[in-house]
Amino acid sequence: MTWEEARDAAGPGSVAILPVGAIEAHGPHLPLETDVIIAQAMARTGAARLAARGLRVLVLPPLTYTSAGFARGFAGTLSLRPETVVATVVDIADSLRQHGYTVLAIANAHLDPDHLASIEAAVSQIRRGLRLRVAFPNLVIKPWALRLSDEFKSGACHAGRYETSIVLAAEPRLVDEAVASGLGDVPLSLSEGIKAGKTTFAEMGLAAAYAGAPRLATEAEGSDMLDRLARMIAGEIEEAMGTSGA
């Protein structure tokens, strides 16, 4: 878009969706930008749903760098301090507010605890200080987590069946299917590991930076998960705008 197109997209009732991911290890079969790919697909699919209902929706360039401490032992992982993430998201929101956007929606696919805490802190600051409406379905809490796959709900979902399926649906050329088909299952729950006080994938036993069953991934399942994610972000945006159920 040009700046004039961005100007014309703003105004009362306008929505900006910020896809948020990370650059971190996702097994030997998925790219480092897996979370970014999923977040962008979630944002675009959700935006299409809303546009079909007549809403003005802009999908922003993604936020690709954030806190990714759990994967820090694996090459290619890039991690920011939590306070940097908070400041970045708040500053993006402030720019959108100044340019006349009504709602900021965050389509997040990265589940690192420090990252999620940073996004929650940023959302709180935006609502309190900027008075900008914010939509943020946090996938690790109810009701959102219950709407996704069994593998996701088990917590064994880093670069496993859930994420591999979504990348197959969104960017199939970026999945090394030959490698994925030969990977053994790693039924280790990240959520349980976090509760136990573990702070890295290595401590949890993710020797190759993945958990779950990537060999079971399918494009069909990925499309289904994307549809569910799109419904989540679209529903939160409608609620933020006061148009839920319209």
- Does residue 193 sit within a domain? yes
Q: What is the CATH number of the domain that holds 221?
A: 3.40.50.10310
> What is the mean pLDDT for each group of 10 consecutive residues in the chain (246 residues)?
94 94 98 98 96 92 98 97 98 96 97 97 95 93 92 96 98 98 97 95 96 98 97 95 62
Q: What is the pLDDT of residue 191?
A: 93
Amino acid 243: pLDDT: 67
Is 246 domain-assigned? no
Instruction: Name residue 56's beta-bridge partners.
Output: 14
pLDDT at 242: 82
**pLDDT for residue 181:** 98
Domain that holds residue 187: 3-241
The predicted pLDDT at position 128 comes to 93
pLDDT at 209: 98
- 113 falls within a domain: yes
Is the CB of residue 50 less than 8 Å from the CB of residue 231? no
Residues 6+ apart with CB under 8 A from 115: 22, 66, 67, 68, 82, 85
pLDDT score recorded for residue 155: 94
* Count of domains for the chain: 1
Residue 167 lies in a domain: yes
- Cis bond upstream, residue 143 (ω within 30): yes
Return the pLDDT at 245: 44
Write down the residue that tokens 């969706």 correspond to: 17
- Asked if residue 60 is part of any domain, the answer here is yes
Q: What is the 3-state secondary structure (H, E, C) of the chain?
A: CCHHHHHHHCCCCEEEEEEECCECCCCCCCCCCHHHHHHHHHHHHHHHHHHCCCCEEEECCCECCECCHHHCCCCCCEECCHHHHHHHHHHHHHHHHHCCCCEEEEEECCCCHHHHHHHHHHHHHHHHHHCCEEECCCCCCCCCHHHCCHHHHHCCCCCCHHHHHHHHHHCHHHCCHHHHHCCCCECCCHHHHHHCCCCCHHHHCCCCCCCECHHHCCHHHHHHHHHHHHHHHHHHHHHHHCCCCC
